[in-house]
Amino acid sequence: MIPLELTLKNFLSYQQATLNFRGLHTACICGANGAGKSSLLEAITWVIWGKSRAASDDDVIHGGCDDVRVDFQFISNQEVYRIIRNRRRGGNSNLEFQIESAGEFRTLSGKGIRDTQKKIITYLKLDYDTFVNSAYLRQGRADEFMLHPATERKQILADLLKLDQYQELADQAKDLSKQYQGQANQIELSLVPIKEKLSQEKDLKEKQKNLVQDLETLQLLQEQERRELQQLQQEENERKTLSEQFSWQQHRYQALIKDEERLTQEKEEINYQIKNLKKIIEQEDKILQRYQQAMQFQEEEKRLATQFKVYQEQQREKQQLEQQLSQETNQINLQIHQVKTQLESLDQQEKELTQILNNSQDVKVALERLSHHRERLQHLDKLQHQVAPLLQRKYSLQTKIEQSKANLKAQLEQLYLNEKYYLQQIDKIPEVRQSLLEIDLKLQELDKKQVYQKRVEEKGQERNEFQERLKENQRLSEEKIEELQEKLKKLEIPEAICPLCEQDLDETHRHHVITKTQRQQQETQEKIWILQEQMSVVKQELKILREEYKLLNQELSIKASLEQEYGQIEAELENSGKISFQLKETTKKIKEIEQLLTAETYAIELQSELTSLNEELQKLNYDEQTHALVRGEVERFRWAEIKQAKLDEASRRQSIILQQKPTLIEKINHLTQQKENLQNQSDIKIKINSLEESINELGYQSSEHQKLLDALRQSQSWQLQYQQLQQAKQQYPQLQERYQTIEIRLQSQQQEKEKIQKEINQSSVKIDLNSNKQQQIDNLEKQIQNRRQKLDELLAQKGRLEQSILQLQSLKEQNEIDKNHLKEIRKKYRVYQELAKAFGKNGIQALMIENVLPQLEAETNQILARLTANQLHIKFVTQKAGRSGNSRQKSAKLIDTLDILIADANMTRSYETYSGGEAFRINFSIRLALAKLLAQRAGTSLQMLIVDEGFGTQDTEGCDRLIAAINAISSDFSCILAVTHMPQFKEAFQYRIEVKKNYNGSQIHLVS
């Protein structure tokens, strides 16, 4: 891919920018940190693949804007393409893919964004992961491959080569092999009981012949006993019918006796009621006379009640008028009291104002002194405005001078500490060397534990696989139990059919099938118990292995820190030669700073300016204390202004009081006269007098009313007797009619009772003639039941034998099918087991990595030679000998790894021991070699190279070599872009793309 033109609108820090790559072979993108250099490269990845460092798609939109658009033109495989991607904030994205044809662009886009994205990757033969791991050396990730431990680098390389698809195939093959292995084990277990059952066929047929003879004999005996039982049951049923009829007759006779007793009692009660009613009717004249007198009392009470109601209303109206008169009188009294209170208040205020006006002369003198002090204060305020900036500058200069002195002292203190530190480091060198030896011994011990941990892990994996097989067998057994339970439920139905031949089952065969199914269920359950016991043992073993693995893991957790500490100590020893030089420089700087502090020759310009300011302040002769005293005098006499304001207010209020007093006195006299008129001549008083005369004329007496009420209460008993008389006259003929009806019913029941007594005597004679046959029936039924149970047992045995014989035939056929099936499953198991090994890490993946590493090593050394003037050489080691616990052992086991050894002019050492600049050159070489390799595997050529911020660790010589290496490999690429903020580096490129940031966002300028 060769870039031609990039157009940005509202992308990250850019609002509007266009970058033309035509004619650029090697160029530098330069600018300050945060100016937007990396955003240009992020725009390329976002427009092509829709990916960037932003957390969400809306985050790439420039702040304050609603949409974003990126337009990118490039060459790939001798064709010119253009990709346009845009998005609205909170909305959807759009993607357009075009190709140039005859000077114009025509679309290659699919139906949607996903389809278009697939077409872009197909045409470019490059996805995002391959791009960022090949053509794009992103900021801060140049050493990403090298920083991982040697045991992880192989996996990272496999991920870069996209070998995970082989691992997925290996996992699938492994899972399938486990499934087929479990199925094979299950079939083998199921064949063992089948073989045992087939050996029982001859014995079963002999038993079947003997059972048929016994069944025929029992069935003849049972038929004879059944006919005898039917005869006895018929005779017993006739006897029970007579007994039930006799019992009913007795029950009916007893019911008639009770009914006769009830009617007799009711007859006596009605006779008693008739006598009582007759007595009430005989007193009719006396009751009527007393009732009429009570009615007269009620009429008189109604008249007095009406008179009492009028009396109450007039009394209530009189009370309301008297209450109204009292309220109005109280209101006038309240107004008189309020006016008198106002008059007293005005008298008191008049006295206070007179006292205030007597002090007017003292206030006048104080006002004159206040005016004099205010004039002096205004003069001092003007002088202060002139002096204040000078004093502020003076204090600022003094602070800066003291700060300069403090900075020098702080530098001196830091230099003292550095000097002390360097001396301590020189003294620690022997101790550091001893620590390095101790850490090496610890690492050797941890390597031994790591090998043992690997063995524990393999043992755990083997136990886990065995546990999975047990779980699978348990699952199959539980499914079989569920099938047998379902089969038993179906057999419990009376119309059940045979589960094998699907024909109707008689009682014997059904019982036989149920027994057999229950036995199979019990055998399967016992098998599950054995599997659960084995699983319990495996779980305990796994628990012990996990605890041991966890303990080893805790012990090995410090290995990485020890290895890091080992590398740090080695680096510390290498840097010990620089400490002596740094100690001499520090001692020299200490002497220079001590001379400056002793002679006070620091901040010369500030000290000269401070002297001039002091002279100018002496000329102005401003005294802050005098200024404060004058300000205090002004504050001390300010009370005179307040007193003068109070005198003016007192004079005004005195004149108002003299005007208000006559009005209040006149108002008091008017209210007094109004009160007298209300109590003697008002409308309310006239209405009260009229109501008193009306009450006297009414003449209502409460004592007479009370006597009438007492007489009325005494006459209420005659009203009750009058009501009883009316009821008696109504009930008397009804009771006489009821009395006659009861006499007729008693005669009828007497006749029926005599009839039932005769029937009872006849039934008793018949019952005595028929004897009880129940004991004979019970004995015969028990005998038939016992014979039936024996017959059922023989039928069940016969059914079981027949079913067993039929099942043996099916088992023979199933045995042959299972054997053939077992052969196929074992064959598939072996196939998938071999495929799992072939696709695994030690198969195709390891072979591909072994084939790639020589090419990667050769390409890396070619680039590294250019960067280091042939001083460094790299080598990839994929296996190494593990540490052996036995010193006599001649050879140790080889361990898979991906160590990177770098050889210089003196020795071969690990990557971690090299300095920052050397490490970056190594990283750059490996990274660039990986880029070429990944591009070749993707089916495309690496035509563009982007290096983002990788030069900060290089010294001047390293930068020159890096620039020379880029120039040396420039012929391999059509476009090389280097991103940096270092001024000395950007000058080495013929073309510079300068990025600056202002209030309008990031801006691009192309400089040649």
Binding-site annotation: residue ranges for Zn(2+): 498, 501
Q: Which DSSP category does 22 fall into?
A: T
User: Which strand (E) or helix (H) includes residue 940?
Assistant: none
Helices of type H across 50-149: 113-124, 128-132, 144-147
Q: Side chain identity at 435, as an amino acid letter?
A: S
Residue 543, token pair as written in the block: 């628990």
What is the full DSSP assignment across 822-847? HHHHHHHHHHHHHHHHHHSIIIIIHH
Please measure the distance between the N-terminal and C-terminal CA atoms of the chain and give it in whole angstroms.
23
Binding residues: 498, 501
**Contacts of residue 351, Cβ cutoff 8 Å, sequence gap at least 6:** none
Residue 394, token pair as written in the block: 């003076």
Residue 75, token pair as written in the block: 């060459």
Number of helices (H), then strands (E), belonging to the chain: the values are: 23, 15
Burial 676-686 (b: 16+ CB within 10 A, else e): eebeeeeebee
Give dist(CA 725, CA 876) in Å, integer. 135
Comparing CA positions, the residue from 43, 135, 1002 lying closest to residue 994 is 1002
Please check whether residue 1005 is in contact with residue 996, taking contact to mean a CB–CB distance below 8 angstroms.
yes
Q: Which DSSP category does 60 fall into?
A: G
**Contacts of residue 198, Cβ cutoff 8 Å, sequence gap at least 6:** 808, 811, 812, 815
What is the full DSSP assignment across 322-379? HHHHHHHHHHHHHHHHHHHHHHHHHHHHHHHHHHHHTTHHHHHHHHHHHHHHHHHHHH
Give dist(CA 182, CA 188) in Å, integer. 10
Residue 325, token pair as written in the block: 């008169």
User: Which strand (E) or helix (H) includes residue 5?
Assistant: strand 2-11
Give dist(CA 366, CA 637) in Å, integer. 6
Q: 70 pairs with which residues across the strands?
A: 8, 85
Q: Which DSSP category does 574 fall into?
A: H
Look at phi and psi of residue 45 and say left if phi exceeds 0, alpha if psi is from -120 to 50, else beta.
alpha
